[in-house]
Amino acid sequence: MIHIVKRRRHKEDFDERKIYASVYSACLSSHLSKEEAEKIAGEISEKVKNWVSTEKEVTSNQIFIKVGEELEKINKPAGFMYSTHRDIS
């Protein structure tokens, strides 16, 4: 299992469902259809999962940046929505 270093330095198991959910939400906020949002969220979460699996340690901020970059390549408005609506928890 891959562990992610969170902002307060504790570690959590990597959960691609969190990426899928946040990308899906950003896509819907950008007025994409549910079908398009599902497609993009699946693609981004798979890319990030593959990337994370090659790293020794990954921070939540690195994941945030990677997701934003990948999403911008596919849909700039959704990438903007993702990058500007970061979870504060």
Tokens of 38: 């599902």
Structure tokens at 70: 């990948």
89 lies in some domain: no
CA–CA–CA angle 47, 50, 52 (5° rounding): 105
Residue 62 counted as domain residue: yes
**Per residue of the chain (89 residues), what is the pLDDT tens digit?**
677 788 788 888 889 999 999 999 999 999 999 999 999 999 999 999 999 999 888 999 999 999 999 999 999 999 999 998 764 43
- Residue pair 45/82 in contact (Cβ under 8 Å)? The answer is no
How many domains are there within the chain?
1
Domain that holds residue 7: 3-84
Distance, in Å, from the CA atom of 57 to the CA atom of 80, rounded to the nearest integer, reads 26
The pLDDT value given to residue 1: 65
β-sheet bridge partners, residue 42: none
